[in-house]
Chain A
Amino acid sequence: MTLALTRPVTGRLRLRTRPRPGLAVAAVFLALILTAVAWPSLFGGDPLAADPLNVLQAPSARHWFGTDQLGRDVFDRVVHGARHSLSIGVAATLIATSTGILLGLLAGLGHRYADEAFSRTFDALSAFPIVLLALLFIAVAGTGTTSLIVAIGVALTPHYARVVRAQTFVVRRAAYVTHAVAFGASRPRLVVRHVLPNVLGPIPVIAVIGLGEAVLIAAGLSFLGLGPQPPSPEWGAMLSEGRGYLHIAWWASVLPGLVVTATIISLTALGRHFQRRFEGRTA
């Protein structure tokens, strides 16, 4: 009771921050990116149209992001690449969250031995750095978009599984579950009414932050040439191609790179904002 005086003061400072302009920018930017995913031709022309007379042109009114070594418009390629890069991230995140939720619940609600087995498996999988785990998977399954998606999905699964398992344990031991027992609730009823909502509630928010990470890894792997193969426009692959011309045409790699970065920052910033709001609500 005595300590209550110093704590909430700073606690509230952290929670009730003023609306920040950065968040609005992030939201608008993401909206643009999503539009580009849904309807790329709205913004740009043909991403594959080569123009041998205009290779490696600097950014101008006609070519906002300049042109690449084949004279293709970099902006058009970035716009069309959004669909590739984001759908890889979204698909991988969906795989990771759904498997993670399933495995995490099995570990958290199952028998002690099941939990032990699952947890050790998560531990072992987490021992591989994510990029290497994805590399291993690609080595087994071959390069290509599908294999990239599954590789990232598998590599990120332990993270979600752990979060779900830990949260399940917290909820299972929560006093309100004890109270539900006092009303004669059966086990399935407890799981449906208390455990699932409280465990799954925070997942979408975590997944938004995780989506940023998935996009980051996907761009990295396709930068290494392990993703969609040329000439399809993909952000990471574009950077990789542009790297070769860095000394004469920085825009061909740096500008697509900035779009990738802005996307990831926006996802992370929005995700964290929702997370703070969420914690403020349940804490």
Chain B
Amino acid sequence: MSVASAVLRRVAAGIVVLWAAATAAYLALLAAPGDMVDSIIGDGADTPQIRAEVIAEWRLDRPALVQYLDYLWRAVQGDLGRSYLLQRPVADVVGAQVWPTLKLAIAAAVFGSLLAVILAVAIRRPWARRFSSTAELVMVSTPPFLIGIVLLSVFSFQFGLFPVSGDRGFAALVLPAVTLGLPIAGLLAQVLRDGLDRALDEPFAVTARARGLRERSVLARHALRHALLPAVALAGWTFGVLIGGSVIIEQVFGRPGLGQVALQAVSAGDMPVVIAVVVLAATVFVVVNTLADLAGLLIDPRLRRS
């Protein structure tokens, strides 16, 4: 019915966006400087025979359109090609580094959202709000690497509470997750607070108070759901910050992960790996965004109408 069709429509839109993103990435591959054969050979020996072998191996002799369709078809099956540099399947190279990044992203997202909800819901007095909103502005505007560097110099170098680099144990996760979570907490808290203020101004909040509800219940049972809507819509953005931020955070804290892989690949011109990371990120983005849309449907029945 209407709910099912609304879900289908969003999933379909997600697939279209994904296809366009994969195509854009492929265009980037084509636009990469120099001959693809040169890139693959890199610093290795370069003879006509090796060139011919490379062309045969990568099947570069086929028409561009066929190669494009082949790329899409293989991408759907999870085959992202081979790394020029490492001569290993890209899926392996990337796959080995997904977990550290995912761990960091999840920890940061959980920390950031919790902090945001606490800031927005608990701090309602005017003077505390002024302080809190200034703090949020600072959190949103501070480059993550600065937060990381400050935290490192205080907690790791001064007090030696947390390891300086690496990814061993929970302690190594704390500072990176806090660093990555703070900007998210800052923006989400602003959006949530704004949503709460708006909702508490609405006539239905007056009606709820007139029923004898405590202000706390009006907030929790009525206003919070309304405030969640714009916050949930930011899920895609949050994810972008997490991924983009993790590239930098991994560098600051010397952690392994997708960011390191991407960075090395960019400096080495290893396009299949760059593209794999980018397409993977886009895929997760689309999934997250679609889920957020569906969560929106769940929260707001008005959106279920076509």
Contact = CB atoms under 8 A, between A and B. Distances in A.
Direct contact of A and B (CB under 8 A): yes
B197 interface: yes
A132 B278 contact: yes
A261 interface: yes
Interface string B3-34: 00000000001001110110111001001110
A133 B203 CA distance: 44
Interface stretch (A31-39, A72-80, A262-270): A262-270
Contact of B244 (A129, A138, A257): A129
Contacts of B24: 124-125, 128
B217 interface: no
A141 B150 contact: no
B16 A120 contact: yes
Interface string A94-138: 000000000000000000000000001101111111111101111
Contact of B203 (A3, A139, A247): A3
Contact of B146 (A6, A138, A247, A254): A254
Contacts of A254: 146, 149-150, 153
Contacts of B152: 246
A142 interface: yes
B141 A265 contact: yes
Interface of B: 13, 16-18, 20-21, 23-25, 28, 31-33, 134, 137-138, 140-146, 149-150, 152-153, 157, 164, 197, 201, 203, 206, 236, 239-241, 243-245, 247-248, 251-252, 262-263, 265-267, 269, 271, 274-275, 277-278, 281-282, 285-286, 289
B25 A257 contact: no
A224 B203 contact: no
A261 B262 contact: no
Nearest to A246: B153
Given A136-B25, A223-B145, 8 more contacts: A3-B203, A128-B240, A131-B243, A131-B245, A136-B275, A224-B251, A226-B266, A247-B164
A128 B145 contact: no
A127 B274 contact: no
A79 B21 CA distance: 40
Contact of A261 (B13, B143, B153, B203): B143
A185 to B, nearest CB: 35
Contacts, number: 157
Contacts of A261: 138, 141-143, 146
Interface of A: 3, 6-7, 10, 22, 120-121, 123-133, 135-143, 212, 216, 219-220, 223-226, 236, 239-240, 242-243, 246-247, 250, 253-254, 257-258, 260-261, 264-265, 268-269
Chief secondary structure at chain A's binding surface: helix
A128 B134 contact: no
Nearest to B239: A129
Contact of A246 (B149, B206, B267, B281): B149
B179 to A, nearest CB: 12
Nearest to B263: A224
Interface centre among A120, A128, A236 (most CB of B within 10 A): A128
Given A135-B247, A139-B269, A246-B157, A128 B146 contact: no
A254 B252 CA distance: 13
21 contacts: A3-B203, A121-B20, A124-B17, A127-B18, A127-B21, A127-B285, A128-B21, A128-B278, A131-B247, A132-B244, A135-B263, A137-B28, A140-B31, A140-B32, A142-B33, A224-B263, A236-B145, A257-B146, A257-B149, A261-B141, A265-B142
A207 B210 CA distance: 44
Nearest to B197: A10
B17 A123 contact: yes
